[in-house]
Amino acid sequence: MNLIIDVGNSYIKLAVFSNNTLKHRAIVNHDQLIETVVALKEQFNSLKKGIISSVGKLNDKQLAEIKGLLELSILDSNTRLPFKNRYETPETLGVDRMALVSASVRQFSKENVLIIDAGTCITYDFINNKNDYLGGAISPGLRMRYRSLNNLTANLPLLDTEMPNDITGVSTKESIHSGVVHGILNEIDGVIETYKLKYSDLTVILTGGDANFLSKQLKSSIFANSNFLLEGLNFILQFNSNE
């Protein structure tokens, strides 16, 4: 069994996989990490290997303690990946994007795949049917857009995320919701349609924290999977264990 640790800015996601089956998933604060790993080791006796991403957000003591509990792999630009990385600056490619592309290789082998991760930022990653990762795009996510309107203007309020009633906002609040949400929806649909002009057999994956909020409103046909990144990390661990 494998332990997957995805370290985010605010929280840490942990998942236990038996082969490709997700057995357990948890979200904890940074100061709860070690006690959670210890508890999972006790709960799942066959938990032997682990992989961790975004290790820079952990201190040396936390990392050493985890290494004492598991055979630990650390995902970085030197990790062997299950695809050909054609990115011109591979050392700058985020580990989250590596994991997402890896998940697409496992589930949609030899297909043209666009992976859209709607989180703090919205990332677009494209891998073709020859297993070549070509790159993608990065743009501001939902909360970043709401916050920027508040931070960079004198009079616009900071609002909670909300689906607008109409494209035409009849108040400042409704106008903000329309601008942010419809702006993102039109962006995502536009990116998908642009890729489809070049790759008619395109498979599209939507994941990330805002995937559920956005998925029902998109015009394009997509697969929504909130665990896609965790599945990708598990596949990278399996891929390197079998070398």
CA distance 53 to 95: 6
In the set 6, 31, 60, 96, the catalytic residue is: 96
96 catalytic per annotation: yes
CA distance 7 to 59: 12
CA distance 91 to 218: 33
Integer CA distances (angstroms), 45 to 51, 73, 106, 234, in order: 17, 19, 27, 18
First to last CA, the chain: 17
The pLDDT of residue 243? 54
Q: Give per-residue pLDDT as tens, 163-218.
A: 999 999 999 999 999 999 999 999 999 999 999 999 999 999 999 989 999 998 99
Q: Which residue has the tokens 């929806």?
A: 185
Choose the CATH number for 2-74 among 3.40.190.10, 3.20.20.210, 3.40.50.1970, 3.30.420.40.
3.30.420.40
pTM above 0.75, yes or no: yes
Which of 68, 78, 184, 74 lies closest to 121, judged by CA?
184
Overall CATH class of domain 84-233? alpha beta
Q: Domain extents for the chain?
A: 2-74, 84-233
Q: Give per-residue pLDDT as tens, 69-95.
A: 999 999 999 999 999 999 999 999 999
Indicate whether 12 pLDDT > 90.
yes
Does this chain's domain 2-74 share its CATH topology with 84-233? yes
State mean pLDDT over 101-121.
95
Joined together, the tokens standing for residue 189 give: 């649909």
To the nearest whole percent, how much of the chain has pLDDT over 70?
A: 99
Q: Within 10 A of 201 (CB to CB), how many other CB atoms are there?
A: 8
